[in-house]
Amino acid sequence: NPYSTIVFSGTHDIILNSPLNLTAAGTLIDSLGQLVTVRLSTTPTTDGNVFKISAEDVILRGLAIHGSSLGYANIWVTGASTKNVLLESNRIGVDLNGNCASPVSSDGIYVDATGTPGPGEHLVTINQNLINCIVLGDGIEIYGADGVLVQENESSGNLLAGLRIEGANQTRVFGNRIGTDNAGNALPNGTGIVVGNAV
């Protein structure tokens, strides 16, 4: 239902038998300060994203999200009316202990939504997430999505790029650590930021 709220308490390991498709506007899933994992089943293997978001005003906060299948991102934000999405303080590609847990994911976060944000809004805000161990792709990929804000994330240990921006205009990027730890030491990954056909 639109504008539904799910708030967790305590520790939970949620194993999905199919991807979660968030299509209702205003969905809030919040486990900030708790220990909550949401992942796809690997026995048997489940194909797809962990989360597919195609609605406005959606918030995912404080989750450990991993296990998308080959060719998919852990979080996919898409749709012609999708806007004002907040992805905040999540651990993507790793479990709650920091261990790599997305061995075949193509991206940590993939954004190709084309909605029109209102005044003071962004299409998607990607804020203070830890994205690691995306060994077949990019930490964050923004493709043809205008008006995305990427701030204060840590993205490392990815095969290709920590952040890839392709054909996406008015993308704001600041305060991120890409390919380094808190002390500024280089971590294994490919290119830091790739920008193509964007302003």
pTM for this model (two decimals): 0.93
**What is the per-residue pLDDT across 44-68, written as a single tens digit (0 to 9) for each?**
888 999 999 999 999 999 999 999 9
Of 144 and 44, more confident: 144
Transcribe 54-82 into DSSP letters. Answer: -SSS-EEES-EEE---TT-EEEEE--TT-
Given a cut of 90, is residue 21 above it in pLDDT? Answer: yes
Query: Taking residues 33-51, what's their average pLDDT?
Result: 91
